Amino acid sequence: MGEKEVQLEVDEEELRVFTQALLRDVHALKRMLDTGSIETGIRRIGLEQEMFLVDEMFRPAPVAVEVLERITDPRITSEIGRFNLECNADPLLFGGNCLSQMEGELNSLLNTVSEATTTLGARPVLTGILPTLRKSDLTLDNMVPAKRYHALNDALTRLRGGPYVLSIKGTDELRLTHDSVMLEACNASFQIHFQVGPEEFARMYNIALAATAPNAFANAVTDYGTDAQKQALLPLFCGEKFHFASLAVLEHGPLADAARPLTKAEPKGDGFAQGTPQNGVERLARARRDFGLGQVPVEVLDRDRVKAGKL
C-alpha cells in the first residue's frame, strides 16, 4: 500500500510470489490481533481531501505534476488524474479541539495548493464531480505519469475483460463506456479516518453506519423522489437537528448488488410487507436497542416503487 515503484510487466511466477506475500500479511495481521499487538486505549482522527484543478473557465486543468514540482510539503500528493490533487492532514488525538485543528491544517494545505496553482493559471475546487468534465478529458494522456497508476489500469482492465461501463440513474441518466480506469478521476472525495482499538472496532463501525444512514436516505429521495417528496423531506437534512432515517434491505446472501436487490416488498394496508428472507427482524430489534431507535419508524421499500416515486 502506497508503494510507488512497481513493475508494469510481471510473469506468473512473480504473481505467485506476490499472492503469497499478501497471504503472509493477512496471517501476520491475525497474529497481531490474537496477541494484542495492535495499539489500544487511544483514538486518533485524520482526513484526506481530494480536489480538482480548474482553469479560468472552470474546465479541468491538467497541471498536477507541475503544481507538485512547486510544493515540498509531503502531505500534498497526486491522484490518478493530472487535474486532481490530494491533501492528507496529520492524525490527531481524538478529543478537545482536534476538529478545529484539522480544519486549520486543511485550510493551510489548501492555501499552499492555491499559491502553487496561481502561476499556472489554475485553482483548486472542492466538489464531488466536476460538472465541466468531458469524456475527452479522461484519456491516458491525462493520467499522472507514475508506474503505479498505469499498473493499476493494466491490472483492472485485464480483470474486467472488457470496457468500463458507467451508469448513473436518477432525474437525469447517464450511461457511457470507456477504455481505461480514468473514470476514477471523475470523483473527488473528503474522507475521515478514525483509529480505534480492535476490541471496539465492530461497535464503532456500526455507529458510523448509523450516523451516515440519513445521507443515503437523502440521496435516495434526491434520485428517485417526486418533487413533492423532495420538498417535504430534503429540508429535514439541511438544518442542525439530526434526523434518523435509513433505507435498508437484507438480501439472501453475501456480495449482493445494492442497485438490484432480490428482496422485494409488497403493498399491505397503508404500508409494505417484506418478502423473504425474514431473518432481518431480530437484527432490526437489536439495532433499535443498541442505538436507542425505539421510536423510529422503519419501512422496507421495493426499489421499483421508490424509483417510481411511490415512497
Taking only the tens place, the pLDDT of each residue in 4-27 is 666 666 678 887 888 899 899 999
Q: Are residues 147 and 251 in the same domain?
A: no
Query: Is 243:236 a contact under the CB 8 Å cutoff?
Result: yes
CA 143 to chain centre: 20
How many domains is the chain partitioned into structurally?
2
Q: How confident is the model at residue 275 (pLDDT cuts 50, 70, 90)?
A: low
Q: Output the nine-digit C-alpha cell for 308.
A: 417510481
The answer, yes or no, to whether residue 196 has pLDDT greater than 80, is: yes
- Mean of the pLDDT values across residues 181-189? 94
Q: Are residues 60 and 115 in the same domain?
A: yes
Query: Is 124:92 a contact under the CB 8 Å cutoff?
Result: no
User: Is residue 21 assigned to a domain?
Assistant: no
Q: Are residues 150 and 251 in the same domain?
A: no
User: Is residue 282 assigned to a domain?
Assistant: yes
Q: Which domain holds residue 294?
A: 200-307
Higher-scoring residue by pLDDT: 89, 288: 89
Q: Are residues 176 and 253 in the same domain?
A: no
Q: How confident is the model at residue 229 (pLDDT cuts 50, 70, 90)?
A: confident
pLDDT score for 62: 97
Q: Output the nine-digit C-alpha cell for 173.
A: 441518466
Residue 141 vs residues 83, 157, 158, 182, 290: alpha-carbon distances, Å: 11, 17, 20, 10, 51
pLDDT score for 66: 97
Q: Output the nine-digit C-alpha cell for 256.
A: 449482493
High-pLDDT (> 70) share of the chain, %: 74
Q: Helix (H) and strand (E) counts for the chain?
A: 8, 10
Q: Are residues 66 and 138 in the same domain?
A: yes
pLDDT score for 294: 47
pLDDT score for 300: 45
User: Is residue 32 assigned to a domain?
Assistant: no
User: Is residue 36 assigned to a domain?
Assistant: no
User: Is residue 13 assigned to a domain?
Assistant: no
- Mean of the pLDDT values across residues 79-89? 97
Q: Are residues 100 and 168 in the same domain?
A: yes
Q: Are residues 210 and 167 in the same domain?
A: no
Q: Are residues 121 and 218 in the same domain?
A: no
The answer, yes or no, to whether residue 186 has pLDDT greater than 80, is: yes
Cα distance between residue 287 and residue 277, in whole Å: 18
Q: Are residues 183 and 51 in the same domain?
A: yes
- Average pLDDT over the chain, rounded to an integer: 81
The answer, yes or no, to whether residue 281 has pLDDT greater than 60, is: no
User: Is residue 10 assigned to a domain?
Assistant: no
Classify 67 as helix, strand or coil.
helix
The answer, yes or no, to whether residue 289 has pLDDT greater than 60, is: no
Q: Are residues 262 and 281 in the same domain?
A: yes
Domain end among 191, 224, 247: 191
User: Is residue 39 assigned to a domain?
Assistant: no
- Mean of the pLDDT values across residues 169-182? 85
pLDDT digit string, tens, across residues 244-258:
655 555 555 554 555
Domain end among 159, 191, 223: 191
Pairing status of strand 271-274 against strand 265-268: antiparallel
- Mean of the pLDDT values across residues 88-97? 96
Q: Output the nine-digit C-alpha cell for 197.
A: 482499538
User: Is residue 15 assigned to a domain?
Assistant: no
The answer, yes or no, to whether residue 184 has pLDDT greater than 70, is: yes
Q: How confident is the model at residue 311 (pLDDT cuts 50, 70, 90)?
A: very low
Q: Are residues 55 and 144 in the same domain?
A: yes
Domain end among 164, 191, 218: 191
Q: Are residues 142 and 70 in the same domain?
A: yes
